[in-house]
Structure 1
Amino acid sequence: MAQLVWFRSDLRVHDNPALFTACQQAQQEGTDVIACFLRPLEQWQSHNWGQNRIRYTERCLLDLKEELEALHIPLICQDVATFAGQIPALLQLCQRLNCHQIFANEEPELNERQRDQQLIAQAEPAGIHCQLFHDQSLLPLGSVLKNDGTPYRVYTPFRKQAQQMIAQQPVQTFPAPAPVISDPQQSLQLKIDSLSLDQPDLVIFQPQNYSDDPIQQRWPATEKEAFHQLELFCGQPINRYKTQRDFPADAKGTSLLSPMLAAGKLSVKSCWQAAEQIRLSDPAAAESASTWQGELLWRDFYRHLLVLYPELSRNQPFKKETSNIQWRNAPDDLQRWQEGKTGFPLVDAAMRQLKETGWMHNRLRMLTAVFLSKYLLIDWHEGERWFMQHLVDADLASNNGGWQWAASTGTDAVPYFRLLSPYRQAERFDAQGEFIARFVPELAKLPAKQRIQPKGYVQGYPNPVADLKEGKERMMAAFKAVKSESSAS
């Protein structure tokens, strides 16, 4: 007999409710714990995961395998094509390894939730009990509602309600479980190791570390490194978070934890607790710690929306009328944006940062998204896909939420005519052109003012892809047309 823990986007042993509960039950019953990860490559690709995200997940798996081995828990890594293939693979593993319970943590995306419901429907008649645990957010998904039971559509009231709920019931985390010790563990490990030989239909894979990939080497993929990064951020940088988080040249202005959160190498609850400790113990850093907690709640907000509005997982805009916007078909402009050759230095620096590092500063994610969807009037889906294909921290909830916010198709109290000028943003947040010089070397030798807005021809650097005034007028006309159609109907 054994308990089966199915890892998905929760690749850690600390604050993992599914793993912790399985280990507790195993110790009470004198049984073993087996862990599995079922890699659905085709499904990931259909969801626009790129190599950066896939490789980072594999590196996180490599560390997870070592962490679990220290707990005497073997990890089976099996290849399947799609989510649909995960269900029979799980049921077969249960049968072969004599497992009668599956423990897993909930995921907010629609396909993932539908898969879990299908698993429960097929497992229960076979005598296999499935337990799903709240894990991906600070509060249970879909639980932050108005007094009338309806969802919040705007962030600020959502945040206030969530803060009240957390104040009433503070965030709790689970410790790493104690090692699982049982006499048959060694023979069980040998049995698992021989599964791929005894059962040729099982495709077992070994996670890789990708030590030759320069992007991967930028991002820690072990639990120890994740907690170290959290500790570093909560040491001194968090004191400056409120004032420095919008300046992309400041390497310590943000936490740099998003890849670890996306892969579940670190839990959002652990982050909240670390910030809460700073907020309560250090008056000088309290406001900054609270500001970071607000960003963690933004992340939660987008996850709650995925559960409450399933159409968001189907590529549909939150504001339904915006599906009628007449986006431009401008492949050359799109390519220049993708390559960081728009002729707008801060936009180009941001896009090149993405390709070079697999990550982009949050303010620049907003700027580049507004530039594509507003000034160029190119469908925000194009940008959303591009980000998913290149980000190490690729995550549907945050990426979709951010793009729809920028394109004014999502949950946003600000009118559609909100714009972020690439020149004004550079003047405010990269006044010396330091960040621009780092990623757009063609401009590095120019004075700071000209790095921000070059005057005339600069060798090797393109002219602007669009006139900002004309782009704004074009966008205004497109949104007004949709607004008029919506009013008329």
Structure 2
Amino acid sequence: MNTDQIIQPERRLVWFRSDLRIHDNPALFSACQPSDNGQPAEVIACFMRPEKQWQQHDWGSNKQRYTERCVLDLQQTLKSRNIPLLTLDVSDFAGQIHYLLKLCQVLSISQILACEEPELNERHRDAQLIASAGAIGIKCHFFNDQSLIPMGQLLKKDGTPYRVYSAFRKQCLNWLESHPVTTWPDATVNLSQQQPFIELNASEWPLWQPESHSADQIQQQWPASEQQLLQTLDRFCTEGIQQYDTARDYPADQTGTSKLSAALACGKLSVRSCWLAARQVQAVDPQYQQAASCWCDELLWREFYRHLLVLYPDLCKRQPFKPETRAIRWRHAPNDLKRWQQGKTGFPLVDAAMRQLIQTGWMHNRLRMLVAVFLSKYLLIDWREGEYWFMQHLIDADLASNNGGWQWAASTGTDAVPYFRLLSPYRQAERFDAEGKFIATFLPELADLPAKKRIKPDIGAILYPEPMTDLKKSRQLAMEEFKRLSN
């Protein structure tokens, strides 16, 4: 046989970033397809941890460690499919490009496949990679993955972006009616039979070994196994979603939310899988239409904020969506900020929420709104201080949703809450934690008090801080500052 005629299989590199899964992964699916000549391709995967870049982007240890666990699970799953996942430590985005090109040259890779990310620096990095790789004959393919509709492509008839959620939602639902959501099959199963495991000579690479961090108390509460998370999604849609429209507002109700936000933020689950699971509930159980629709609305809010991040890149630069709000004279009050961070404001529901964040790496969504309004309106402290604190502690930290939520609460963003509408810490507790169960969980010093006293303790009666501000006076100061912008 003439060895010159042997056709070498095409090698493709799947670059995992915020899509740490094998199910419904368009980049991985496409990489596993046969070459144009019908020959099976060889698939190699990589994940490059840019720890310095993560820190510059305000990622805290909870998000970083959870990502590591998700990568480790992915590595083990891919290995069972005979796909090696090379994990590298590269410091920053420039290092990612450098080692990607080096990998392609050393391993004779012809294509790089990856899923898009909405953030500005990430998009600049990908554009630079496309140019650099193209110059040496390597093709790059990027796939929409973090949104139901390609990010930035849902526009009004005049070509301008939607700035109000309700209008965006309506058009989004119309678009999805004519472009039904589908998921990508798992194409890796066949590779375990088609390609032998590729042993990589990794001695010259800056290797990084992801760890399980299973001993971490916070990490234990958040599964990083793709298989387990798919089961969690199925369980939520068969048991939990039925009461979602009402139970989601009560922070003491452990079944009131899906607890899938960390998996969505890391791409361990896809938004398409979540959307279709909810739609299936609506199709099978008409009595749960409202509850499932309510969860779909939360997914569409996530969608909205991702589109905005692409269409308004200044949001990635910590700039307010409403330019006029740059003139707000935020208070420089480091001691007040510290009390808010530590959950020592003297307002029990606010404090319980802040301690939930510190102790669990997560906070109930209604409470995220409450503590954000409290910081930005009652204390008139710059919303960016809160946005940063959340990014540092949330295990589901996500720039688009975090920025969107904080700007909504601070009345600086798109479709924001009117500046004169504030959430009262006491009223919110009376409505959504009337028995003080949630407060007692995170403020044990109040646990022995009657429910009403947990919500509003008597000043000086126990070892608990006095309220740090007068709500009426603080509200008036905030109103005056926001009114000044229109004068």
The one of 349, 352, 355 aligned to 1:352? 355
Task: State how far apart, in whole Å, the 2-side matches of 1:414 and 1:405 are.
Answer: 6
Does residue 1:15 correspond to 2:18, yes or no?
A: no
Q: Any idea what the Cα deviations from partners look like across 1:231-272, whole Å, max 9, x if unmatched?
A: 111012111001111100000001110000000000000000
Cα deviation digits, residues 76-135 of structure 1 (max 9, x gap): 000111111111110000111110100000000000001000000100010100000010
Cα distance in 2 for partners of 1:95, 1:345 equals 59
Q: 1:40 touches 1:80 (CA, 8 Å); kept in 2? A: yes
Q: How does 1:166-181 map to 2 (within 5 A)?
A: 166-177=176-187, 178-181=189-192
Amino acid at match of 1:22: A
- Is 2:221 the counterpart of 1:218? yes
2:379 is the alignment partner of 1:370 = no
Partner of 1:135: helix, strand, or coil?
Answer: coil
* Aligned residue-pair number: 476
- Give the 5 Å matches for 1:19-34: 19-25=28-34, 28-34=38-44
The answer to whether residue 289 in structure 2 is matched with residue 289 in structure 1 is no
* Alpha-carbon distance between aligned partners in 2 of 1:345 and 1:165, rounded to the nearest angstrom: 44
Secondary structure, counterpart of 1:76 in structure 2? strand
Shift of 1:148: 1.4
- Answering whether residue 427 of structure 2 is matched by residue 424 of structure 1, we say yes
Say if 1:437 and 1:181 are closer, same or farther in 2 by CA, change over 3 A: closer
Q: 2:258 aligns with which of 251, 255, 258?
A: 255
Secondary structure of the equivalent of 1:36? Answer: strand
Which residues of structure 1 form unaligned runs of 5+?
485-489
Give the counterpart letter for 2:22 in structure 1.
Answer: V
Q: Is the partner of 2:238 in helix, strand or coil?
A: coil
* Letter paired with 1:102: I
Verify the 8 A CA contact 1:4 1:35 in the aligned structure 2: yes
Which residue of 252, 274, 283 corresponds with 1:271?
Answer: 274
- 1:322-368 C-alpha deviation (Å, 9 max, x unpaired): 11100001101100000000000000000000000000000000000
Distance 1:465 1:381 in 2: 21
After superposition, residues 123-138 of structure 1 pair within 5 angstroms as: 123-138=133-148
Q: Deviation at 1:30?
A: 2.6
CA deviation after TM superposition for structure 1 residue 184, in Å: 6.6
1:15 and 1:270 in contact (8 A); partners too: yes
Name the SS for the 1:236 alignment partner: helix
Q: CA deviation at 1:25?
A: 3.5
Verify: 1:146 aligned to 2:149, yes or no. Answer: no
SS of alignment partner, residue 206 of structure 2 = coil
Residues 301-380 of structure 1 aligned to structure 2 (within 5 Å): 301-380=304-383
Counterpart Cα distance in 2 of 1:249 and 1:469: 28
CA deviations 1:357-404 (Å, max 9, x no partner) are 000000000000000000000000000000000000000000000000
Match of 1:457 among 449, 456, 460: 460
1:442-453 superposed matches below 5 A = 442-453=445-456
- What is the alpha-carbon distance in structure 2 between the residues aligned to residue 66 and residue 151 of structure 1? 42
> How many Å apart are 1:29 and its aligned residue?
2.9
* Structure 1 segment 46-195 matched on structure 2, within 5 A: 46-177=56-187, 178-181=189-192, 185-186=196-197, 188-189=198-199, 192=200, 194-195=201-202
Match of 2:53 in 1: 43
TM-score for the superposition, normalised by structure 2: 0.96
The CA deviation at 1:458 is 3.6
Partner of residue 439, structure 1? 442
Cα distance change on mapping 1:182 and 1:87 into 2, 3 Å: farther
Deviations 1:17-49 (A, max 9, x none): 000000014694333100000100000000100
Give distance in 1, aligned partners of 2:161 and 2:384.
Answer: 25
CA–CA separation in structure 2 for the residues paired with 1:332 and 1:322: 24
Following superposition, the deviation at residue 57 of structure 1 comes to 0.2
Q: Distance in 1 between matches of 2:356 and 2:35?
A: 47
Q: 1:458 to 1:5 in 2, by over 3 A?
A: farther
- Following TM superposition, by how much is the alpha carbon of 1:182 offset from its aligned partner in structure 2, in angstroms? 7.1
**Structure 2 alignment gaps of length 5 or more:** 1-9
Distance 2:389 2:262 in 1: 17
**In 2, distance between residues paired with 1:137 and 1:446?**
46
Give identity over the alignment, percent: 62
- Indicate whether 1:415 and 2:418 are aligned: yes
